[in-house]
Amino acid sequence: MLVFRLSKHVDKYDCKHFICKSANESSFSNLNAFVNQFIDCDKYSMNENNYYYLGKITRKFSFKGELIIFLDTDTPSHYYVLKKIFLKVNNSYLPYFISKISKYKNNSVRVKFEDVKNESEAMELINYEIFLPIDELPKLEGKKFYYHEVIGFKVIDIIQGEVGEIAYINDQTPQHLFVIKSNGKEILIPINDDFILDLDRINKIINLKIPEGLLNIYVKL
């Protein structure tokens, strides 16, 4: 049996702010239909492009329902004031409101959710990935950027001029790469602070100083 408990924080703009309890995860499959009967969903959607991966619930901390969350970020301190996170369940993003959060070890935080009352309820959440809406990301300036925000940027090399457009970022390799579309080819440029001169966010341009000879490899292909 699936039990829905409408959080006291829900309003028409926070359409997914439901706390759901179920012994069977497949019960979440009807969540969208249930929610949309009662709430006008404007701000948050189920589109995964609206969310970014932040980390994972790794283990319980105490019998009081506290949990340890690993934050997959270089700046975990930015998230010590979180008020809510989203869990991805059957392609839906479900919010959990935080009543207490504190630094734990390294990139981990100790968290108590408002509607998780005991150890048993906490155990159900272990290994779930956590997300936040992209529009809640801290703004970056200068040469710092989030990978998603430079997709579609025009790439200009200081020597050879326009190179192409960033199609996506390959972050599955030890050295992350700009994947640039240029005249039907893919050009791979390492993401390195020394190569990045500046970002023009208004005009969607990134200026690079690409190592000599690297582009010549692709010209000859």
Please state, in angstroms and as integers, the Cα–Cα distance from residue 177 to each residue in 49, 148, 194, 204, 205, following that order: 20, 13, 14, 18, 17
Question: Is pLDDT of 131 > 90?
Answer: yes
Nearest to 93 by CA among 59, 133, 62, 142: 133
Q: In what helix (H) or strand (E) does residue 55 lie, and over which residues does it extend?
A: strand 51-60
Residue bearing tokens 């010549």: 216
96 Cβ partners below 8 Å, 6+ apart?
19, 84, 85, 86, 87, 113, 114, 115, 116, 125
| Band (17; pLDDT cuts 50, 70, 90) | very low
> Which runs of consecutive H residues, i.e. helices, occur in the chain?
31-38, 119-123, 214-219
Question: Is pLDDT of 141 > 90?
Answer: no
Residue of higher predicted confidence among 103 and 8: 103
pLDDT given for residue 109 in this prediction: 94
pLDDT given for residue 216 in this prediction: 80
pLDDT given for residue 135 in this prediction: 82
By DSSP bridging, strand 51-60 and strand 129-133 are antiparallel
- What value does the mean pLDDT of the chain take? 79
Nearest to 20 by CA among 60, 30, 11: 30
Q: CB of 204 within 8 A of CB of 153?
A: yes
pLDDT given for residue 178 in this prediction: 95
Question: Is pLDDT of 165 > 50?
Answer: yes
With left for phi above 0 and alpha for psi between -120 and 50, is residue 184 left, alpha or beta? left
pLDDT given for residue 46 in this prediction: 62
* DSSP tag of 139: P
pLDDT given for residue 220 in this prediction: 56
Residues 180, 143, 80, 86: is their CA dihedral positive or negative?
Answer: negative
Residue of higher predicted confidence among 71 and 37: 71
Q: Report the share of the chain in percent with pLDDT over 70.
A: 77
pLDDT given for residue 163 in this prediction: 94
Q: In the predicted model, what is the mean pLDDT of residues 132-157?
A: 88
pLDDT given for residue 201 in this prediction: 94
Point out the least confidently predicted range of 65-74, 85-94, 185-194, 212-221.
212-221
> Which runs of consecutive H residues, i.e. helices, occur in 39-134?
119-123
Q: Tell me the C-alpha distance between 4 and 18, whole Å.
A: 7
Residue 19 has phi, psi (to 5 degrees) of -100, 125
Question: Is pLDDT of 195 > 80?
Answer: yes
Tens-digit pLDDT profile for residues 22-69: 334 444 444 444 444 333 344 445 667 789 889 999 999 988 899 999
By DSSP bridging, strand 205-208 and strand 196-200 are antiparallel
Tell me the domains of the chain and their CATH numbers: 3-136 (2.40.30.60), 147-219 (2.30.30.240)
pLDDT given for residue 169 in this prediction: 92
Question: Is pLDDT of 221 > 60?
Answer: no
Q: In the predicted model, what is the mean pLDDT of residues 139-166?
A: 91
| Rounded to 5°, angle at Cα 208 from 204 and 210 | 145
Chain length of the chain: 221
